Amino acid sequence: MGKGGEKGGESGEPEAQLRFYTWEEIQKHNLRTDKWLVIERKVYNVTKWANRHPGGQRVISHYAGEDATDAFQAFHINPTLVQKFLKPLLIGELAPGEPSQDRDKNSQLVEDFRTLRKTAEDMNLFRANPLFFSLYLGHIIAMEVLAWLMVSYFGTGWITTFILACILTTSQAQAGWLQHDFGHLSVFKKSSWNHIVHKFVIGHLKGASANWWNHRHFQHHAKPNIFKKDPDVNMLHIFVLGDTQPVEYGKKKLKYLPYNHQHEYFFLSEILLSFLIPCSHTLPDPNTFMHFFPLWSRLDPSRVPQATLFPAYWEVFKVSKRFGPKEKRRLQRQTFVFLESHWFVWVTQMNHIPMEIDCEKHRDWLSSQMAATCNIEQSFFNDWFTGHLNFQIEHHLFPTMPRHNFWKVKPLVRSLCAKYGVQYEEKPLGKAFVDIVGSLKKSGDLWLDAYLHK
């Protein structure tokens, strides 16, 4: 139990004396209505403030009762500035005899990782290259303009339709990677500028909500591949993932779908998506549009207070309304959506689905990220095609690092992993795609065996 004077908490009033707490006491405060966490040995009560957290209340709640030091450093580009919001929430410190890490984590590994991060900061690896991102945005806009000009001057002949679909697929996929950069605050020094441009790119070019993306994606980074904490592995009974969930479903005789065939209908899910996108000749309602795109998002429109605007996204289709029959325009849209959704899903899932997917194990930051991610071999094409998500390990360890610097920190990360025997997995792009299907098949077989025999 803590010792010392009266605790302050969220009142903002100065405390006469901070209390000291043990990990045993802190870990009790991990409830929806009672949340404490630790940052650099200081204990904070974030129960009421969690709802005002800019990154969403869930991501901060996932660290209730735990040491959140590395997560705090990873997500904030200016931790010193953020400290002013923490001061009113301070209620005490870890007792002098308590370790800095909870649950018997390897303290030396944790300290070595923090030293690695400091080394990366000293190497200016968290400083973005403006020319890189300017050229990247420029090549996306150039493709959008080219698509508009093609429709205006060549109409929608069959050849033009196919070329147009390929151009739009490429521009939209690349816009998706670019919004990811701004969403992670990895371009500008000020968070506000990143947020402004993020809303433009994801809203104007992609037709999605920045608030929705932040709410989901930060949870994924905080607790990757952790059931009930990472929304990306909440498949709403469409798929069963990992080694434990299929067995659990099988024992309970849950059969929402024939999961032993999920590696086959994985392909069909993306074909179905191309027909779910509204194909009217006017701009679709944002809530309807976002309900279906992408399929993996499973967006609840009521959770998105931000208006979704996407004039550039549909501008080419508005222009194409003047040309060609209705069937050709619909085919153009569905082809584009089919190609872009496949591009998005295969690239974003190749680093995670084949990795460990399980319940919370309370690992340190490095170990938890390494267990859930893998890299794809580097090449100019792989870098461009995946938006540098082929460096998924480095991206997950350092979410705010500009992606053009991942290759520079990679040797340091590999060296640290080798020192502590932490697996650093890297594979060719083709094998990564094959592993998605293999992983789904393995999980499906586990489900079938448990369903029939356990």
**For 129, phi and psi rounded to 5 degrees?**
-95, 110
Q: Which helix (H) or strand (E) holds 375?
A: strand 375-376
Environment class of 106 (CB within 10 Å of its CB; exposed 0-12, middle 13-18, buried 19+) = middle
For residue 410, what pLDDT is reported? 98
Alpha-carbon gap, residue 26 to 65, rounded angstroms: 5
Alpha-carbon gap, residue 3 to 107, rounded angstroms: 25
pLDDT digits (tens, 9 = 90+) for 126-142: 999 999 999 999 999 89
pTM value is: 0.86
For residue 372, what pLDDT is reported? 97
For residue 178, what pLDDT is reported? 96
Kindly write down the DSSP assignment for every residue of 225-260, as one continuous string.
TBTTT-GGG--TTS---TTHHHHHHHHTT--SS-GG
Asked if residue 95 belongs to a domain, the reply is yes
Asked if residue 39 belongs to a domain, the reply is yes
**Which of 373, 400, 402, 397 has the alpha carbon at shortest distance from 387?**
402
Asked if residue 344 belongs to a domain, the reply is no
Question: Residue 162: how many CB atoms within 10 A of its CB?
Answer: 13
For residue 299, what pLDDT is reported? 39
- Look up residue 399 and give its two tokens: 């979410």
Contact between 306 and 316 (Cβ < 8 Å): no
Give CA separation, 259 vs 230, 231, 234, 244, 450, in Å.
21, 20, 15, 14, 12
Alpha-carbon gap, residue 176 to 112, rounded angstroms: 34
Q: How many residues would you count in the chain?
A: 454
For residue 6, what pLDDT is reported? 43
For residue 144, what pLDDT is reported? 84
Asked if residue 261 belongs to a domain, the reply is no
pLDDT digits (tens, 9 = 90+) for 277-297: 443 333 333 333 333 333 333
Asked if residue 29 belongs to a domain, the reply is yes
**Which of 69, 90, 46, 448 has the alpha carbon at shortest distance from 254?**
448
Return the residue matching tokens 């998002």.
Answer: 297
Report DSSP state, residue 204.
Answer: I
Alpha-carbon gap, residue 36 to 25, rounded angstroms: 10
Three-state SS string across 101-115, please? Answer: CCCCCCHHHHHHHHH
Report the C-alpha dihedral over residues 177, 178, 179, 184, rounded to 10 degrees. Answer: 90
Asked if residue 71 belongs to a domain, the reply is yes
Those residues of the chain that have pLDDT short of 50 are: 5-7, 11-16, 274, 276-311, 323
Q: Which helix (H) or strand (E) holds 39?
A: strand 34-39
Q: Report the helix count and the strand count for the chain, using DSSP H and E.
A: 19, 7
CATH of the domain at 69: 3.10.120.10
Asked if residue 9 belongs to a domain, the reply is no
How many domains are contained in the chain? 1
Gyration radius from the chain CA atoms? 24
Residue type, 292: F
Give CA separation, 318 vs 103, 283, 329, 340, in Å.
57, 8, 10, 19
Structural domain boundaries, residue 49? 20-104
Asked if residue 54 belongs to a domain, the reply is yes
For residue 9, what pLDDT is reported? 52
**For 37, phi and psi rounded to 5 degrees?**
-150, 165
For residue 287, what pLDDT is reported? 36
